A and B are shown apart, each in its own frame.
Chain A
Amino acid sequence: MIMMDKVVKRYNELIALDHFSFEAAEGEIIGLLGPNGCGKTTAINCMLSLLAFDSGDIEIFGEKVHPNNNSVKRRIGLVPQELSIFDKLNVYENIDFYCGLYVSDKTKRRRLVEEAIEFVGMDRYRKFIPKKLSGGLKRRLNIACGMAHQPDLLFMDEPTVAVDAQSRNFILEGIRQMKARGKTIVYTTHYLEEAENLCDRMVIMDAGRNIAHGTVEQLQNQISTQERVEVGVITDESDIESQLEALPNAVSVNRKNDNYMIHFEKQENNISNLIKFIESKDLTYTELSSEKATLSDIFLELTGKELRD
């Protein structure tokens, strides 16, 4: 469906895409994750052939992308990161305008616009101009404008920023429905949880490179931390950290007051080993919790950066 092969894009000195490769199969939701400035938007703009790139190949629907390739463009939708709605047009008109760039038949367009309004739950606001909409509603309008023509392939560049939890779930549900209808979605986000729940596969980007990709399980297997255990112990022993680090499978220990975060490389009796250790020392623990490695651990380990929500 999408094949991006070793694409290099430079902005003068800055390399925004560094031999970036990426593939998406038909009917999947694929997440592009990465810190600010890692090149997500640039990658999307190259795929849309809005930006000229220095080298590499991009194919969509089996055809090389090209600014004049209207048969490909007709099947693509874009929800841009920046709001691209007209201040002077109301909600209905904005959606109709963008839908009209793809669909010329009037009756069909009317139906599509109505469906899009429903999709983002904006029926009450159809006559509102953007100035009268809240930030989140504007984003929802932006989404409606991008997908109203129901493209086979939809690029969504951080569509849910500033949208409240309820509308976000509404939108995410809508995206799942689109997938169920066989649409392909390329999704960028800073919300790791959202990506984890929504995306079939993920590509983790850093500094313009594809540093890891696959399903959440596949990504988990690529990093050393498999389990994270947080334990609270009160003790005078100063070398407790190094003792914890000596536990089987333990990779690292971080201390936060009386709490210790222990990273284990395998998920194998780690909790019971820890409890045995604490009991052998005649200590008690105030709290104990365990988590499987999350996307943010994957992120931290692969990029050395924290990706904040």
Chain B
Amino acid sequence: MNIFRMTIYLIIINFKDFGYWFWTLCYPLLLCALFMMTTSNMSNTELEDINAGIENDHPLSEALASIEFINLETMTEDAAVEQMEAGEMAAYVHGDYELLVTESGFNQTVMEDVLTQMQSTVESGIPPQHFDMDASFIDASSQDTQPETVLFYSLIAMIAFYGMFSSIEFISTMQPNLSHMGARFAASPYSKGKLLAASVIGAMALNLFSNTFILIVIIIFYQINLFTELWPTIFLLITANFTGVGFGLILGLVPKINAAAKTIIAIVLIIGLAALSGLMGPPLKQVIDGNLPWINTFNPVARLTDTMYRINFLGNFNDYWSTVIFLAALALAFYTITLVVLRRKQYDSI
């Protein structure tokens, strides 16, 4: 049997499974509906402009002042700190693209992104006065639900990893110590590499199918334009699918726990990671980013959420490739471990 046939069988096995439909389709759609209800009252309010201070005669004054959603005021550092501590101002620009902040939050993040964007433009030889603010920030300034948008990116990031439900199922079924079918499979000469390849292709196909469905629902039904950078986002989501499936394989290999329990573990884990990345609303993410930034550096859901937000919302591609590489590296580590464990063919007890 070739890989293709094996994949088809694995897909049939999962596609007819209630768990697949519930966890990868119904559940995310329910969450979506929930978000829409809780955020609908916010979504109509205009985003407040960001108050920012800048040093006298700073080279970026003119460029920053031209940005629609930034209220720029020239002042001294001391005055700025005072205003920031009173909560009246978000950030102070001084020195060489340096940003002074006293707390961390959404507005601070936006300011940081604006500065980074300017810096990279300037470094590419264009004077700050001349760069095209409209192109980079026009979408951002016209968005009226900025903080809430993070919620949707976070949700999409979460479901991108849901391929793991299928791979947990596949690998549990094919392990001699976990299922009778697995023992029967291990007695055959079928290649473990082929099985692994078929599981990955099958699980990715299933999850990309449900991801597409959910994205279409979000876009059509809720009229949210989340993707100004469609192809880079799709590539990013496919990479995340690859990682999610790999994670499911690892979880699937764990002995003594049945697939149902593993699914629960996976759901709790992913929702936890998604919460840290903003799924439960921006405040938690801000607290984490401010106090324990390393957590989200290693949190794949957060990396994916941030990167999607940056490329689509701020037109900032600075961390795009590092996120892709981070996700791909995780995936490769997962696959390597899986293959090594699968190749270990004898068991002390089955």
Binding site for B on A (CB under 8 A): 11, 45, 48-52, 67-68, 70-71, 73-74, 76, 78, 80, 82-86, 88-89, 93, 97-98, 100-104, 109, 145-146
Contact of A80 with B180 in the complex, beta carbons under 8 Å:
yes
Known: A52-B346, A83-B180. A101 touches B12 (CB 8 A): no
State in angstroms the CA–CA spacing of A240 and B9 once bound together.
70
- Known: A68-B345, A78-B187, A86-B181. Is A51-B13 also a contact (CB below 8 A)? no
Known contacts A50-B350, A51-B349, A88-B16; decide if A100 and B183 are in contact (CB<8 Å): no
Closest 5 interchain pairs by CB? A100-B1, A67-B345, A70-B189, A101-B188, A84-B180
Q: Which of B180, B190, B347, B350 contacts A101 (CB 8 A)?
A: B190
Q: State whether B9 touches A102 (Cβ < 8 A).
A: no
Could you tell me the distance in whole angstroms from the C-beta of A218 to the nearest C-beta in chain B? Answer: 31
Given that A84-B180, A97-B9 are known contacts, is A48 also in contact with B347, CB under 8 Å in the complex?
no
A85 to B185 alpha-carbon distance, docked (Å): 11
Give B99 Cβ to nearest chain A Cβ, in Å.
56
- Smallest beta-carbon distance B240→chain A, Å: 27
In the bound complex, residues from chain A placing their C-beta under 8 Å from that of B252 are: none
SS class, residues of chain A in contact with chain B: loop
Which one of A45, A49, A86, A101 lies within 8 Å of B345 (CB-CB)? A49
Assess A73 versus B189: contact at CB under 8 Å? Given A89-B9, A100-B5: yes
Residue of A nearest to B347 (CB): A51
Q: Does B98 contact A (CB under 8 A)?
A: no
Q: How far is the CA of A50 from the CA of B348 in the complex (A)?
A: 9
Closest A residue to B182 by beta carbon equals A84
Evaluate contact between A74 and B13: CB separation under 8 angstroms. no
A82 and B5 CA atoms in complex are apart in Å by 25
Asked whether B58 is an interface residue with its Cβ less than 8 Å from the other chain, the reply is: no
Which among A11, A100, A103 has the greatest number of chain B C-beta atoms within 10 A? A100
CB-contacts of B163-217 with A (<8 A): 173, 176, 179-181, 183-190
- Cβ of B6 < 8 Å from any Cβ of A? yes
Return A85 CB to nearest CB of chain B, in Å.
8
The 24 listed contacts between A and B (C-beta, < 8 Å) are A11-B349, A49-B346, A50-B176, A50-B186, A50-B346, A51-B347, A51-B349, A52-B348, A67-B186, A67-B345, A70-B189, A71-B189, A73-B188, A82-B180, A85-B181, A88-B14, A88-B16, A89-B9, A89-B12, A93-B9, A97-B1, A98-B184, A101-B189, A109-B1
Residue B291 interfacial (CB < 8 Å): no
B17 at interface (Cβ–Cβ under 8 A)? yes
With both chains docked as a complex, state the minimum distance between the C-beta of B93 and any C-beta of chain A, in angstroms: 60
Q: Whole-angstrom distance between the alpha carbons of A89 and B16 in the complex?
A: 9
- B residues contacting A by CB (< 8 A) are 1-2, 5-6, 9, 12-14, 16-17, 173, 176, 179-181, 183-190, 345-350
Task: Please name all residues of chain B whose beta carbon is closer than 8 Å to the beta carbon of A146 when the two chains form the complex.
Answer: 184
Q: Cβ of A78 and Cβ of B184 under 8 Å apart?
A: yes
Total cross-chain contacts (CB, 8 A): 82
Task: Please indicate the chain A residues that have their CB under 8 angstroms from the CB of B176 in the complex.
Answer: 50
11 more A-B residue pairs beyond the given contacts A50-B176, A85-B181, A145-B184, with a C-beta to C-beta distance below 8 A: A48-B187, A50-B187, A51-B346, A51-B347, A78-B187, A84-B181, A86-B173, A88-B12, A88-B17, A104-B1, A146-B184
In the complex, residue of chain B having the shortest beta-carbon distance to the beta carbon of A45: B350
A49→B5 CA distance, assembly (Å): 27
Contact in complex: B13, A88 (CB < 8 Å): yes
Roughly how many angstroms separate A25 CA and B194 CA in the complex, as a whole number?
A: 34
Rounded to whole Å, the gap between the CB of B45 and the closest CB of chain A is 49
CA distance A80 to B17 in the complex (A): 25
Instruction: Identify B12's interface contact among A93, A102, A109, CB under 8 A.
Output: A93
Of the listed residues B185, B189, B345, the one surrounded by the most CB atoms of chain A closer than 10 A to its CB is: B189
Assembled-state Cα–Cα distance A67/B17 (Å) = 32
B325 to chain A, nearest CB (A): 34
Residue on A nearest B346 in the bound complex, by CB: A52
The interface residues of chain A lying within 8 Å CB-to-CB of B12 are 88-89, 93
Closest residue of A by beta carbon distance from B184: A84
- In the bound assembly, the distance between CA atoms of A274 and B176 in angstroms comes to 58
Measured between C-beta atoms, what is the minimum distance from B140 to chain A in Å? 47
Residues of B within 8 A of A73 (CB): 187-189
Q: Would you call A80 and B183 a contact (CB within 8 A)? A: yes
A294 to chain B, nearest CB (A): 33
Known: A49-B345, A67-B345, A68-B345. A76 touches B350 (CB 8 A): no
B175 to chain A, nearest CB (A): 11
Give the residue among A70, A93, A101, A103 with the most B Cβ atoms within 10 A.
A101
Q: Are A102 and B188 in contact (CB under 8 A)?
A: yes
Q: Are B189 and A74 in contact (CB under 8 A)?
A: yes
B185 contacts across to A, CB distance below 8 A: 101
Could you tell me the distance between the alpha carbons of A100 and B66 in the complex, rounded to whole angstroms?
67
Write out the residue numbers on chain A whose beta carbons fall within 8 Å of the beta carbon of B349. 11, 51
Please name all residues of chain B whose beta carbon is closer than 8 Å to the beta carbon of A88 when the two chains form the complex: 12-14, 16-17
B177 CB, nearest partner CB in chain A, Å: 9
The answer for the CA separation of A85 and B173 in the assembled complex, in Å, is: 11
Q: Smallest CB-CB separation from B348: which chain A residue? A: A52
Measured between beta carbons, the chain B residues less than 8 angstroms from A49 are 345-346
Give, as a whole number of angstroms, the nearest-CB distance from B124 to chain A: 55
Q: Complex Cα distance A104/B2, Å? A: 7
Q: Which residues of A have CB within 8 Å of B179?
A: 84
Chain A contacts for B5, CB-based, 8 A: 100
- When chains A and B are docked, how far (Å) is the Cα of A45 from the Cα of B345? 12
Q: Which residues of A contact B6 (CB under 8 A)?
A: 100
Contacts of B188 in A (CB 8 A): 73, 98, 101-102
**Inter-chain contacts of A70 with B (CB < 8 A):** 189
Contacts of B350 in A (CB 8 A): 45, 50-51
Which chain B residue shows the least CB distance to A49?
B346
Cα separation A98 to B184 with both chains bound (whole Å)? 9
Taking a contact as CB atoms under 8 Å apart, the answer to whether B13 and A89 are in contact is: yes
